[in-house]
Structure formats: structure tokens, C-alpha cells
Structure 1
Amino acid sequence: MLTLKWVLAILVIATSCLSVLNSFKSRQSKDGKQRGLHASRMNIYMGLMLIFLSILMMLLFTGSSLLVVVCLLFMLLGIFNLFAGMRNRSYYSRLQQEQSR
């Protein structure tokens, strides 16, 4: 159980760093398609981070109904970000492929 907590903590930190990195790349990009791709990757990593964070919170703290509600909200927000990022990534990838033809 302790190993799972450490793995989840490392995943939260890694996805957080990747989200910040893609956020910077998105803001610095001049091309709109590249900006959209980086923003969609940021959403995917942020969604994964929220999902991992909610699972970690459920494992670390027990016994509170407020905690369950907060974890559920984090999980739903993470799933929404994950799917929105995946949808946007497919859209911008298609735009880039059409441009390269």
C-alpha cells in the first residue's frame, strides 16, 4: 500500500510538471495549431494529475464524507479535462496533417 502511495505521488508530480511545461509552450507558440496542440496536451496532463490526486487523497485520508465529495469533484474535473484534451488534440492533429499535405 505504501508503494502505491509513492507511485501516485510521483505520478502527480510528473503530470503537474508536464502540464506546466506544456502551458509555457502553449503561451510562447506563435502558430495557432501548435498552441492548440500544447494546450490540449496540458489539459490531458492536468486531467491525469487530478485523477491521480483524487485517488491519492482517497488512500491517504479516510472517514470523512466531505473528503469523498472533494475527491469525487476532483475525479469528475479530471475526467472532463482528460476527454476535452483528447478531443482537442485529435482536432488540432487533423488540422496539422491537412496543412502538411
Structure 2
Amino acid sequence: MIQTIQYVLYAVLIIACLCSVFFSFKSRRSLDPKVRGLSAAKTNISMGVMLIILALIQMFMFSGSSLRVVIGALFMVLGAFNIFAGIRNHGVFSRRQKAE
């Protein structure tokens, strides 16, 4: 059971990392500001998911030291902030794209 959870967490981590790289390249290479903003928002969301999964792996899959738990909590807070900012920016840019 624990091994299945590890495989799922690592698979989600790899998918989030690949999405982050893909949307980052798409954001930087786009000339349209609306597409650039939407891609940057998706990059933020995928990076937030990646940070939260890293925190879960850090906190639950290895022996628990207080330093490991503090670093995991810090990653979790940064990941939640990235997800929140990405969702907010995605809403702003998608409304801006629908308006035109």
C-alpha cells in the first residue's frame, strides 16, 4: 500500500514537472500577451502542485526529523501560494481573452 502511494506521488511529481517545463517554454516563446499570461498561470499552477507533492514526499515517505517537517511545511505553503496565484491569474487572463 505504501509503495503504491509512493508510485502515485512520484508519477504526479513527474507529470507536474513536465507540465511546468512545457507551459514555461510556451509562455516565454509566445508573442501574444494573453496566451503568455495564460501559460504563465498554468506554469504557476503546475509548479504549486509540484511543490506540494515534494512536500508530501518529504514529510511522509522518509523518517521524520523536525527539520524535514519544517522544510516540507515551507514547500507546502509555497505550493499553495503558487496554486492560488496561478488560479487567480488564469481567471484574469481568461476573462480578458473572452472580452476581446
Question: Hey, what's the Cα distance between the residues in 2 that align with 1:63 and 1:45?
Answer: 26
Letter in 1 for 2:18: C
Give TM-score scaled by structure 1 length: 0.96
1:34-85, CA deviations, whole angstroms, 9 ceiling, x for partnerless residues? 0000000000000001111111111221221000000000000000000000
Question: Hey, what's the Cα distance between the residues in 1 that align with 2:67 and 2:58?
Answer: 12
Letter in 2 for 1:90: G
Question: Hey, what's the Cα distance between the residues in 2 that align with 1:63 and 1:11?
Answer: 22
Structure 2 contact 58–69 (Cα < 8 Å) conserved: no
How many pairs align? 99
Question: Hey, what's the Cα distance between the residues in 1 that align with 2:16 and 2:43?
Answer: 9
Structure 1 contact 43–81 (Cα < 8 Å) conserved: yes
1:54-69 equivalences under 5 Å are: 54-69=55-70
1:16-95 equivalences under 5 Å are: 16-95=17-96
Structure 2 segments unaligned to the other structure (5+ residues):
none
State the identity %.
49
